[in-house]
């Protein structure tokens, strides 16, 4: 079953339940915890959008100002924070602006 919340562009997470549902329904998920006021987040945004378009990983965006409780529960202390999930479980976390190739390597690793 294909949903509009599938591949191609990042999906805006609306709640903890929404995040859990999407993570459990997809093999590899990249979650970008970001904020509108965050300069490094804005620098990383085009990379995250390209990864959504170019890979089979589902890419999610979590605005830490909108979902403060979710960010706190996930232990996000700085942005951008990127969390990778595989098979519904958190597999890796990186903090700060990252090189696209490094992020693609993580996705490849989790996809195999």
Which residues are annotated as catalytic? 38, 41
- By DSSP bridging, strand 28-34 and strand 11-12 are unpaired
Spatial distance between the Cα atoms of 103 and 106, rounded to a whole number of angstroms: 5
Spatial distance between the Cα atoms of 45 and 40, rounded to a whole number of angstroms: 9
Which residues are bridge partners to 95 per DSSP? 81
> DSSP class of residue 42?
H
Residues 112, 56 contacting (CB under 8 angstroms): no
């Amino acid at each position: 079953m294909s949903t509009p919340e599938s591949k191609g562009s990042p999906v805006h997470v609306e709640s903890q339940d929404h995040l859990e549902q999407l993570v459990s329904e997809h093999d590899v998920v990249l979650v970008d915890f970001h904020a509108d006021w965050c300069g490094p987040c804005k620098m990383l945004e085009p990379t995250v959008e390209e990864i959504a378009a170019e890979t089979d990983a589902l890419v999610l965006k979590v605005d830490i100002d909108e979902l403060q409780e979710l960010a706190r529960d996930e232990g996000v202390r700085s942005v951008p924070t990127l969390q990778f999930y595989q098979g519904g479980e958190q597999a890796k976390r990186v903090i700060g602006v990252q090189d696209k190739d490094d992020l693609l390597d993580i996705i490849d690793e989790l996809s195999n």
